[in-house]
Amino acid sequence: MVALASLASVTITSFLAVVLVRAAWHKAEGFLETVGFAQGYGLVPDAWAAPIVRALTAIEVAIVLALLVPSLRPLGGLAAAALFAGYGLLMATALMQGRSRIECGCGGAPQIVSAFTLARNALLALMGLTLAFLPVATVRPLEAAAAIAAALVLAAILTVTEKLASHLPHIHQQEEN
């Protein structure tokens, strides 16, 4: 049982690291675009958006580093859970205020904030929370390779699912016409 928990820990750690690196890269590479996405949420004054995006990028990188240091992994899992839950809360707040046509700004395929993005963030937060309570143990090289491969498969599934979900607004719009 401990061996399975250790493999799950390495898999979730690797997967969350990939998701967070992609998110941080997206914010850094398309900084001005991401600032525009943040402004689209309408939750803070526009002048605050750029510093907030910079801070979130740094936080995402810091969480990745915490995930990769075994003694900090539980803290990294809690921080990842809090970050994804916070992003979800921001999305839900924007939706409740009637902003139904805003870009997520999450990285990857462009996505309109929707029930899908809320569910995705809830699942990512749950994974971070789970990671915080899994044991941090050494795994053998072959086990580590298998766990990392599993994480990459999960990342590929997430990427494909997000790409498919990015088409949902267009599908719904055509159904209405």
Give CA–CA dist 119/147, Å, rounded: 24
Residue 77 parent element (H or E):
helix 73-96
pLDDT at residue 27 in the model: 94
**6-37 confidence digits (pLDDT tens):** 999 999 999 999 999 999 999 999 999 999 99
Q: Does residue 133 or residue 169 have the better pLDDT?
A: 133
**80-126 confidence digits (pLDDT tens):** 999 999 999 999 999 999 887 888 888 766 788 888 899 999 999 99
Q: Which residues pair with 103 in a beta bridge?
A: 112
pLDDT-above-90 percentage for the chain: 71
Give CA–CA dist 68/73, Å, rounded: 7
pLDDT at residue 87 in the model: 96
* 97 class by beta-carbon count within 10 Å (0-12 exposed, 13-18 middle, 19+ buried): exposed
Give CA–CA dist 42/165, Å, rounded: 23
DSSP string, 84-99: HHHHHHHHHHHHHTT-
- Residues 8, 81, 87, CA angle at the centre, nearest 5°? 135
Give CA–CA dist 170/42, Å, rounded: 23
Q: How far is CA 95 from CA 35, 50, 83, 124, 151, in A?
A: 18, 22, 18, 20, 31
Long-range contacts of 45-50 (CB under 8 A, 24+ apart): none
Task: Please report the sign of the dihedral spanned by the C-alpha atoms of residue 26, residue 80, residue 94, residue 169.
Answer: positive
Query: Per-residue pLDDT for 137 more than 70?
Result: yes
**36-84 confidence digits (pLDDT tens):** 999 999 899 999 999 999 999 999 999 999 999 999 999 999 999 999 9
pTM recorded for the entire structure: 0.91
